[in-house]
Amino acid sequence: MTASPLRLMAVHAHPDDESSKGAATLARYVAEGVDVLVCTCTGGERGDVLNPAMDRPGVKENIAEIRRKEMAEAAAILGVGHRWLGFVDSGLPGEGEPLPEGCFALQDPAVAAEPLVAAVREFRPHVIVTYDESGGYPHPDHIMTNRVAVEAFEAAGDPDRYPGTGEPWQPLKLYYIVSFTREWFTAIHEGMRARGLSHPLAEEVTDDWFDGMPELTVTTRVTCDEHFETRDRAVKAHATQIDPDGPWFATPRDLEREVWPTEDYQLARSLVETELPETDLFAGIRR
C-alpha cells in the first residue's frame, strides 16, 4: 500500500518501558530498515532505585538526570529515535494515597495528547504501539499513556483538531502490547522444568498473581527471537531500574527462543484491510 519507508512509533510511560515491553520487535524492524521512534511520556523522576548495585549515595538525588542518560543509551542500542513528551512521573501511590500535584496521570487527556499529536504529525508513523486501557498493569501513568495514545491516533489526522501542531497525519494501525501473560509464563516454566531447571518466580507467580491483569486477545505475533540479546542489552542500560542478576534474566535465551520466539500484540484499530491472525505489524500496509 505504501512504497515510502515504513515508520513505527512506540508510546511508553517511563524510560525503561520501551526496553522491557516490545523491544525485540523494535530492534527487528530497525534491522529491516523501518524508521522507529519511541515517545516517552514522563521522565521517570519518581522511580525507585531497583538495582542494589546502583543504590549508592547521590543516585536517588540525581535520578532524573541519570534516567535520561540511561534512556539515551537504550535508544542507541535499539537503534531507535527518541522523544520526551515532557510530563512528570506520577509515581505509584499506595491505596488511598493522592497522586502528586501536576503529575502526568492528573492531566486532562485531551491536553496531555497535544505533544504526542505534534510528534505523530512530524514523524508520520504508519503504526503506533502502546498499552491497553488497563495500562498492562494498574500504574496511573500507564493508564494515562493509553488514553493519550488513543487520543493522538484518532485526532492527528483531523485538520480541525490540535491546530498549530503540524500538518495532519493519520496513522493506519494501533496495537496494544500483550506481555507477561499466564500462557507465556506457563510455557517458559514448563520448558525450564523439562530441562530440570526451576524459575525463581515459580512460587511467586501463581494464578492469583494474574488476577486483575488484562485478558487481551492476541491478534499479531511478531517473530523477533534473533533480537532478544539486543532487547536484554537495552533493558540493562536502565541500570537504576534493572538488576542484571534478577529473576527476569533467569530464563536461558535459547529456551525462550524455542518456546516463545514472538512478541505479541492486539490490533486495537485498523484503517486498512488485514487478515487475522497476523505476523507483521505492517500487514495490510506494505506495498
- Which segments are annotated as binding site for Zn(2+)? 14, 17, 142
User: Within a domain: residue 286?
Assistant: no
**Is residue 192, in this structure, part of any structural domain at all?**
no
Query: Is residue 231 situated within a structural domain?
Result: yes
Report residue 182 as a C-alpha cell.
499466564
The verdict on residue 43 lying in a domain is yes
Confidence of residue 8 (pLDDT cuts 50, 70, 90): very high
Count: domains in the chain:
1
pLDDT in tens, 28-49: 999 999 999 999 999 999 988 9
Q: Which residues on adjacent β-strands are paired with residue 223?
A: 262
pTM of structure: 0.95
CATH number, domain at 45?
A: 3.40.50.10320
* Residue 39 within a domain: yes
Cα gap 135→142, rounded to integer Å: 4
Q: Is 238 helix (H, G, I), strand (E, B) or coil?
A: coil
In a domain, 185, yes or no: no
- Known binding-site residues equal 14, 17, 142
For the chain, what is the mean pLDDT?
A: 93
pLDDT at position 287: 72
Q: Can you give the pLDDT at residue 103?
A: 97
For residue range 47-83, what is the model confidence (pLDDT) as tens digits? Answer: 889 999 998 898 999 999 999 999 999 999 999 999 9
Supply the range of the domain harboring residue 36.
7-180+217-270
**pLDDT > 70 in the chain, percent:** 95
- The per-residue pLDDT for 161 is 98
Handedness of CA 183, 130, 236, 103 (dihedral sign): negative
Q: Which secondary-structure segment (H or E) carries 231?
A: helix 228-236
